[in-house]
Structure 1
Amino acid sequence: MNLENHSKREQQRPKSGEETLGKQHTGSVEVISRQWVTRATYLITAVGLTCLFMQFGIVPYLATSLGLDAVEFGYLQTLYGVLQLLGGPIFGRFSDQYGARAALILSYVASSLVFLLLSMSTNVLLLILSRIPSFFIQALPGAQMVITDLTTPAFEHADPSGKLGLCFGIGIILGSSLGGSLTTHFGVYFPCYVGLAGHLACVLMVLLFIPAQTKSQPKGNAAEQSTPHSSDVFSLKEVLRLLKLPGVMDVFLIKVLSGLPIGLFMIMLSIISIDFFKLEAAQAGYLMSYFGVLQMVFQGLVIGQLTSRCTDRTLLMLSVSVFSGVGLAMALMTNVFQYCIIAFPMVFAFCTLGIITDILLTKSVPPSDT
């Protein structure tokens, strides 16, 4: 009996070692897979935002050539912003129901439709219709969903959020300057075809590199998991439920109210560059690229250091306070040189507010409610 027991233990030892090695191998493969998907997400986001920001070199000059004045252009841009505002919660619900890959595909298909309609915009009606698909243009939130799903709860979210901010900066720099240059040299419709091709390429890359489901399977106590009460993507009750989670509404209101003034300014920056700063298409693109360079500097060099030394609450208060001063300075500026100076604190507050509020919201909601 002792010999039999010893023999059984000897047989079990190699098996136990193989199982442990297998688990370690599986874990390492999973880590490598997550890294590849994360890097692919950064690449796709940078390409998509580059194509999207080409609009800054297209839409204002297309609108001007079709006879729209500054006020009418403001209405057109406001329509774009309102559609994105309304589409945000629906896009989030769609992602939680069908996965981040399906949501990203939806976003890039919508972007492709925008540029297709822009390439056909020979009258004001078609130009207005080109704004309608923007309801689902949520590439940056979609990428944030993928990164959040792939990030372990113990990991600091400031680093991946900062890298997505770098992608945003790259998109502004390349997209704005490229859109303005192509418009100046090849006409207002040529960048539309480039943007259309770029977004279709993003759809293909999402299909190839992003898994169908990026969320981890729920573990632990089921009570700690948040299960949506309704599978309806357009459920207003579900949106309100999320807003009622502890800490969500406060951060949401701070994010919206603080970001609204800068959002209005950025929406109108293209027409401000034409009518107020008297810039050409290429020059307006370079101005937006300057904004992108500043954002990359703050995202890559400054905010990471601040998040390691200051609390989230301190940085949130700092960004809101800086925004207040920026608003006053923007009301008093008279030329593009003054704007370039004001852009320093404006971009700092913009980047800090975006990252800190994303971190706070991510901590406030369960993984199932990205």
Structure 2
Amino acid sequence: MMTEADTGGALRQRTHMSDAPEGETSPPTAPGEDSRRGAEAPADTQADYSVKEDFSSVCVIRVVQLNVILYSTCFWIQQSCFPYLSKKLGVDNITYGYLQTAFAVFQLVGGPLFGRFGDLMGARAALTLAYASGILTYGVLAFASSIPMLFLSRAMSLFLACMQGSQMVITDIVAPEKRADALGKLGLFYGVGMVIGPTLGGQITQRYGEEAAAMTATVGSLISMLTVIYYIPKHVKHVRTEEQSVANVFSFGEIARLMANREAAFLLIIKTVVGIPIGILQSVFSRVAMTIFNLPADYNGMVMSYVGIVTMLVQGVGVGILTKRYKDLSLMKFSTIIATFAYILVAQVTSIEQFCVTMLPLIVGMTTLQVVISAAITKVVDPKDTGAMIGLGMATNSLIRTVGPTLGAYMLEIYGYSSIGYFGMIVCAVVSASLFRY
């Protein structure tokens, strides 16, 4: 059984979680040493990123970034019309909750499988599958005439992992020391679509109906898929991967092998645990805004836009500045400390103005932590397995979305709003203490 000292020592052995300044790398491993040391010596140190700045790689990154904007726009167009379409088809509150849970479960199952598919079949095949899943999801929704068809549209989202696929491409192209910054900027582009999508979806729904909005998302996904086919290379990894059959995608033994990597498992646990409080807060915010802050619908939207803009700035600008100056482990400690104190403030707020102020440190802490961990989990495994690891990381988000609403509703009803802040404080304090012991 792994001790805390074992985990801490292993984490500090990594290039970007070591005590060496940012930019310094560990000595190269001898040929064949990776195979002898297993998960403790990923071939990431041997991958050749010398071509990362060439024109073709830059073009691929730009195509991925633009596609993320289009994907996010389409997803939020669908999100804006889905409640109205489900209401038109007679969906009650309980069934609507089942629909949301079904979506989260399919994403939870599909994420790791999609990651394996990308590792085995390449970037182009993975992103094509993701956007094809989007076409099916939105297309079925556009023609939905009954509640079972709504559930079918949720089932089609099994491989709707466009953001995950984009992260896989960025991870494979960008050098490890710049990976967190690049992934953060990808989140910035997603945020642009998140701003455009709901507004555009609302306008289309109001003028032409919910079906037209869903069809618009379908067409947008088709454009993205064609762009991937024409502009994304078959493989973008800097290491050779053996040709394997699609059947190996469903090898849960391989996924279990990755989870057996002690460093990867530790990071995934941290990502999941610290994500639960913020997931709970997000799931109950609309109800808190109405019942505690007496916030009308238009102001509710303004607060959500404010949170989205601050998150975009932290992902697109703040993370890049911080990762150039500090190593990953230091940023993880720093982020959990900030989040701990931010949750204390969240538990004390009595007005929406105070809430907006407390969101600043909470967003800085949690966003930085999530981006750094997302990059770190790709550094502790062999480059040929980075897609599956990103899939496992995304699966933790789906897990949180699955349990968060129910747990949040229970805490809000039984213990009150302040309990969410105190719960987040305890979780982040424990995680922070654990990180300082390593």
TM-score, normalised with respect to structure 1: 0.79
Aligned-residue offset at 1:247: 0.8
Aligned to 2:310: 294
Picking from 204, 209, 212, the partner of 2:226 is 204
Structure 2 partner of 1:96: 119
Instruction: Give the alignment partner of residue 368 of structure 1, picking from 384, 393, 401.
Output: 384
The corresponding residue for 2:171 is 148
Higher Cα Rg, which structure? 1
Deviations 1:1-57 (A, max 9, x none): xxxxxxxxxxxxxxxxxxxxxxxxxx8898111111111111111111111122331
Q: 1:214: how far off?
A: 1.1
Paired residue type of 1:317:
K
Work out the CA distance in 2 between the residues paired with 1:343 and 1:58. Answer: 28
Does residue 79 in structure 1 map to residue 102 in structure 2? yes
Match of 2:261 among 245, 253, 258: 245
| Corresponding residue of 2:80 | 57
Tell me the CA shift for residue 339 of structure 1: 5.3
Which of 358, 361, 367 does residue 374 from structure 2 map onto?
358
* 1: CA distance, partners of 2:273 / 2:341: 15
Give, in angstroms, the shift of residue 186 of structure 1.
Answer: 3.2
Distance 1:292 1:67 in 2: 31
- Report the residue type matching 2:216 in the other structure: V
Contact 1:149–1:216 (Cα < 8 Å) also in 2:
yes
1:139 aligns with 2:157: no
**Offset at 1:233?**
0.7
| Conserved 8 A contact 1:84-1:136 | yes
Identity of aligned residues (%): 35
- The 5 A counterparts of 1:1-370 are 31-153=54-176, 155-218=177-240, 232-266=248-282, 279=297, 288-324=304-340, 340-370=356-386
Structure 2 residues without counterparts, runs of 5 or longer = 1-49, 387-438
AA aligned opposite 1:152: A
Query: How many angstroms apart in 2 are the aligned matches of 1:195 and 1:137?
Result: 13
Deviates more, 1:71-80 or 1:127-136: 71-80
Determine if contact 2:185/2:317 at 8 Å carries over to the other structure: no
Q: Is the 8 A contact 2:138 2:215 kept in 1?
A: yes
1:136-178: CA deviation from partner (whole Å, max 9, x where unpaired): 011111111111111235x421221121111121121111222
Aligned Cα root-mean-square deviation (Å): 3.2
Q: Distance in 1 between matches of 2:160 and 2:326?
A: 34
Distance in 2 separating the partners of 1:271 and 1:54: 22
Q: Is the 8 Å Cα contact of residues 239 and 384 (structure 2) preserved in structure 1?
A: no
Alignment check: 8 A CA contact 1:176 1:288 kept: no
The answer on whether the counterparts of 2:80 and 2:198 sit within 8 Å (CA) in structure 1 is: yes
Match of 1:5 in 2: none
**Distance verdict in 2 for CA 1:365–1:227, change over 3 Å:** farther
CA contact (8 A) 1:170 1:292 kept: no
In 2, the alpha carbon distance for the partners of 1:228 and 1:334 equals 57
Deviation digits for residues 92-115 of structure 1 (CA, Å, limit 9, x no counterpart): 110011112111111111111111
Letter of the 1:252 counterpart: L
Deviations 1:292-341 (A, max 9, x none): 32222112332222223333223223433444566666677787666544
**Could you tell me whether the CA contact under 8 Å between 2:188 and 2:316 is conserved in 1?**
yes
Where 1:190 maps in the other structure, the secondary structure is helix
- Tell me the distance in 2 between the aligned counterparts of 1:62 and 1:337: 34
When residues 162 and 30 of structure 1 are mapped into structure 2, their CA distance, relative to the original with a 3 A threshold, is: closer
User: Is the alpha carbon distance of 1:291 and 1:58 closer, same or farther for their aligned partners in structure 2, counting shifts above 3 Å?
Assistant: farther
Pair 320,169 (structure 1): closer, same or farther in 2 beyond 3 Å: same
Distance 1:229 1:120 in 2: 34
Closer/same/farther in 2, CA of residues 217 and 310 from structure 1, 3 Å limit: closer
Work out whether residues 57 and 284 of structure 1, in 8 Å CA contact, stay in contact via their aligned partners in 2. no
8 Å contact from structure 1 (residues 49, 172) kept in 2: yes
Q: Aligned AA for 2:82?
A: V
Which amino acid in structure 2 is aligned with residue 115 of structure 1?
Y
CA distance in 2, matches of 1:188, 1:213: 38
What amino acid is the match of 1:249? A
- Partner AA of 2:330 in structure 1: T
Instruction: Report the CA distance shift for 1:133/1:318 in structure 2 as closer, same or farther (over 3 A).
Output: farther
Bigger relative CO (Cα 8 Å, ≥ 6 apart): 2
Distance 1:156 1:244, change over 3 A: same
